[in-house]
Structure 1
Amino acid sequence: MNDNINSGLNHFAALSGDYGAKALAPIKENFPELAEFIMGSAYGDIFQRNTIGDDWKEIAIISALISMGQFDQLGVHYVMALSVGMSVEQIKGILLHLTPCLGAPRVISAFNVLLATLEEIDYSTIRQNNI
């Protein structure tokens, strides 16, 4: 396995913990080439660059996913946002600021994913351990 893929897997695991591992498992098992591409290119390269902070990276990705109506990956990025120090209130602030541009129905869907994600994870553990 190439260094970028290993580095990407480590970076992804550090940010998303068990929640991310659970989300990635079916991709790794059924479409390993896609998992290698994502881990090598996104997490092994782009996500490790320092041009913007980790919180800004998650703001950008959360906003992009919601604007595209791609809610399946939101949970992982909510967990990552929390693990890099963002608060639930800040994530809700992102959602609120997207509402005039994207509309309430899309933001409500994104908020429902946030609620479901918070129910599934132990938020206090993320904040204490930074995953």
Structure 2
Amino acid sequence: MNVDSGLDHFTNLSGDYGAKALAPIKEHFPELAEYIMGNAYGDIFQRTTIGSDWKEIAVISSLITMGQFEQLGVHYVMALRVGMTVDQIKGILLHLTPCIGAPRVISAFNVLLETLEEIR
């Protein structure tokens, strides 16, 4: 577990948007931030078995399927920063619709719109 390496990797992927999302966790629940940075971003996200775009497709799809929209903005930003386009993200959303239903996809799309507005 490499917390410093994980934080660097997270920062490179998410920029200021990610730092803003992570700040309250670091302040009020530092043990969780350490776990996420050390295990997810210090290990799993740095492995090279699949590309960064595939990692974001997997995470975005999983979050939407679980109805966990709160972290979507960070992963939308990461997807864009690793070279995915907005149209590709919308393609993921469309592809999920028959599997998980329009209501969750609409919620995920609304988060995408909010995220794009915030980073512009």
1:13 and 2:11 matched:
yes
1:76 and 2:42 matched:
no
> What amino acid maps onto 1:46 in structure 2?
I
What residue number does 2:33 align with? 35
TM-score (norm 1): 0.91
* 1:36-75 superposed matches below 5 A: 36-75=34-73
Post-superposition offset of 1:33: 0.0
Post-superposition offset of 1:71: 0.1
> What amino acid maps onto 1:87 in structure 2?
T
Post-superposition offset of 1:60: 0.1
Post-superposition offset of 1:91: 0.1
Q: What are the superposed Cα offsets for residues 92-128 of structure 1, whole Å, 9 maximum, x if unpaired?
A: 0000000000000000000000000000003xxxxxx
Identity %: 82
> What amino acid maps onto 2:13 in structure 1?
L
Give me the whole-angstrom Cα distance separating, in 1, the residues matched to 2:106 and 2:72: 13
Give me the whole-angstrom Cα distance separating, in 2, the residues matched to 1:93 and 1:110: 12
> What amino acid maps onto 2:68 in structure 1?
Q
Gaps of at least 5 residues in structure 1 are: 123-131
How big is the alpha-carbon RMSD for the aligned residues of Structure 1 and Structure 2?
0.7
> What amino acid maps onto 1:44 in structure 2?
G
Moved over 3 A (4+): none
Q: What are the superposed Cα offsets for residues 72-108 of structure 1, whole Å, 9 maximum, x if unpaired?
A: 0000000000000000000000000000000000000
Give me the whole-angstrom Cα distance separating, in 2, the residues matched to 1:11 and 1:50: 13
- Work out the number of aligned pairs and report it: 120
Secondary structure in 2 matching 1:47:
helix
